[in-house]
Chains A and B, each alone.
Chain A
């Protein structure tokens, strides 16, 4: 078994390296930035020079480094309470990333599961699930989220649930269609003909075969989820002080745009770069994974 296997391995590794070196510049930069964001998400507490909520009233609103009056003690400056902006940015990025990842995954799992259920059961199940999909797509979810958060108060669980519900319907719709067509493919029929139960056909054969488009949908959905989180936090209904997130920082800095513009611009820039990087990566993946788009 291994005699034929062995020479194939180095070749594969080499192909992978070659692909990496041929990446478009935009994609490499985007991938690099996303890796940085992931690093921050994991190690924010290790890198931060100060505690993110450490107040230092003697050093309020110092500007970031290239500007006059800046100190290297606070390379990105401080806010109105003298808290180190760099430390706050790290923790804010961590919170936003964690929430968005969690929300995206929740939405994906729920949507994919319901899509499979609709395709498998058919009939009434299918009708009800697809009606729910249409409801969700037709609802102004942002407004509803505002209302729910306003009434139910500052609960992390509710906030995460709302993030998870955001965008599940696209997964459900895509999954249902993909499963319906994959189920009629030769390999799925063949496994069924071997006596496999539906669960085995769906999980072992159909899911891996339709994973490509779903992963692409994940990368398309992720930037939207980040924007969703930051918008809610910006409005003061998501992450609230003393906790912080990118949107919350942006909302706090909004009042000082004239005196200390960096308080809003720096977190805004991070939001912009994160969503842009993820979109670029998603676009690139979509072309890579969809054979019909390849030239």
Chain B
């Protein structure tokens, strides 16, 4: 069986500022050689600090912004050119759920109109709009409302419903709950999981929240400064992470237990400027185990029996 989504050595850089008359504009690599696969019905969680390229990656794999180099295949075929007819037709099969649900909806149109819009665009039966509204647990009366009359959780349900009308095979969730209250987060996460079970969609679930990713993902990929530093099945990752960065992230997850209060996680400081990444292993300035080799030589992503990690000292450290 071919993977639903496969990305090979994906790269994307952005220009920082403007070039002057005598100097070239600096560029920084938001996504710098990322490879990943996603099977049908599977959820891949992508985690990392802000600025590590998670959101850029989610836009790249959907073809919403063009990549500089590398290859993306969806269901065995390369992504068509952005804006072409093929590209537009492919929107039926892959959809994005946004972090800012309020911003992703047109403030001047009713909810009903907006949920029905994808059906109009692709000449699909309009009944699907009502079905989608019901599927995300919103009353039909919502259709007459405008976005400013809805709460954040309701807006995110609307955005999900709009994507559902197209019955996509792949949904990319870009921080779908991080703008919501904790109590609402749980509702939306449950909704997302129920929908996956009912429809068998594959999710690329991008988040900075490791506990939510633990809840929804089958596999986890950790990104650091535009690169994947570790990728593992969920159980393996949460019981024994290999990369020092993954360990630091896991240690920083707050534990709801007063007994552990005061035992703060090791502080590893702020991430370096992504426009000028460190030499060698990009994590070495913050890594407690860095050696001379780490400062000079960039580690490759190596296979460790069903999981991958990029660190020179994994064998030593895991003994």
Chains A and B bind each other: yes
Residues on A facing B (Cβ under 8 Å): 1-5, 185-187, 189-197, 200, 204-205, 208-209
Whether A193 lies near B64 (C-beta < 8 A) is yes
Across the two chains, which residue of chain A brings its CB closest to B96?
A193
Which of B64, B90, B107, B141 is close to A4, meaning CB atoms less than 8 Å apart? B141
Cβ of B103 to closest chain A Cβ, rounded Å = 3
Q: Which of B9-17, B116-124, B238-246 contacts A (4 or more CB under 8 A)?
A: B116-124
Give A187's nearest chain B residue, CB to CB.
B106
Q: Quick check: B106 and A1 within 8 Å, CB to CB?
A: no
Q: Would you list which residues of chain B between 36 and 90 have a CB under 8 Å from chain A?
A: 62, 64, 88-90
Q: CB < 8 Å: which of B91, B109, B144 contacts A194?
A: B91
Question: When each residue 90-119 of chain B gets 1 if its CB lies under 8 Å from chain A and 0 otherwise, what string results?
Answer: 111001101010111111110010000110
Contact of B103 among A5, A187, A209 (CB under 8 A): A187
Query: Which residues does chain A contribute within 8 Å of B118, judged by CB atoms?
Result: 194-195
Q: Assess whether B145 is interfacial by the CB under 8 Å rule.
A: yes
Given A194-B118, A195-B89, A195-B118, 18 more pairs with CB closer than 8 A: A1-B141, A5-B141, A185-B103, A186-B100, A186-B105, A189-B64, A190-B159, A191-B106, A194-B91, A194-B117, A195-B90, A195-B91, A195-B121, A196-B88, A196-B121, A197-B121, A200-B121, A205-B109
Which residues of chain B from 205 to 252 have a CB within 8 Å of any chain A CB? none
Across-interface contacts of B100 in A (CB, < 8 A): 186
Q: Chain A interface secondary structure, helix, strand, loop or mixed? A: helix
Chain A's nearest CB lies how many Å from the CB of B86?
Answer: 11
B141 in contact with A3 (CB, 8 Å) = yes
**Cα–Cα, bound, A190→B106 (Å):** 9
CB contact under 8 A between A1 and B108, given known A194-B121, A195-B118: no
Contact yes or no, A4 B144, CB < 8 A: yes
CB contacts (< 8 Å) of A185 on chain B: these are: 103
Binding site for A on B (CB under 8 A): 62, 64, 88-92, 95-96, 98, 100, 102-109, 112, 117-118, 121-122, 140-141, 143-145, 159, 162, 166
Q: Which residues of B contact A204 (CB under 8 A)?
A: 109
Q: Give the top 3 A-B pairs by smallest Cβ distance, nearest first.
A: A186-B103, A195-B91, A190-B104
B-chain residues with CB within 8 Å of residue A205 when the two chains form the complex: 106, 109
CB of A1 within 8 A of CB of B140, answer yes
Find chain A residues with CB under 8 A from B166 CB: 194
Which of A189, A190, A192, A204: most chain B Cβ within 10 A? A190
Contacts of B109 in A (CB 8 A): 204-205
B100's nearest neighbour on chain A, judged by CB, is A186
Q: How far is the CA of A195 from the CA of B80 in the complex (A)?
A: 13
- A-B contacts, 15 of them at CB < 8 A, read A1-B140, A2-B144, A185-B103, A186-B103, A187-B103, A187-B104, A190-B104, A190-B159, A192-B64, A193-B62, A193-B96, A194-B91, A197-B88, A200-B121, A209-B106
A187–B105 CB distance below 8 A: yes
Given A3-B141, A187-B103, A195 and B108 contact (CB-CB distance below 8 Å): no
Cα distance A36–B304 in the bound complex, in angstroms? 83
B297 CB to closest chain A CB (Å) equals: 40
Q: Is there an interface contact between B98 and A1, defined as CB atoms closer than 8 Å?
A: no
Residue of A4, A189, A195 near B88 (CB, 8 A) is: A195
Closest A residue to B163 by CB, please name it: A194
Whole-angstrom distance between the Cβ of A197 and the nearest chain B Cβ: 7
A193 to B64, CA, bound (A): 7
Q: Check A193 against B91 for contact (C-beta < 8 Å).
A: yes
CB distance from B129 to the nearest CB of A (A): 12
CB distance from B63 to the nearest CB of A (A): 10
CB atoms of B117 and A196 under 8 A apart: yes
> A205–B98 Cα gap in the complex (Å)?
18
Among residues of B, the one whose C-beta sits closest to the C-beta of A4 is B141
In the complex, chain B residues whose CB is within 8 Å of the CB of A190? 96, 98, 104-105, 159
Q: How far does the Cβ of A211 sit from chain B's closest Cβ, in whole Å?
A: 9
Bound-state CA distance A4–B112 (Å) is 14
- Say which residue of B64, B108, B144, B145 sits within 8 Å of A208 (CB atoms): B108
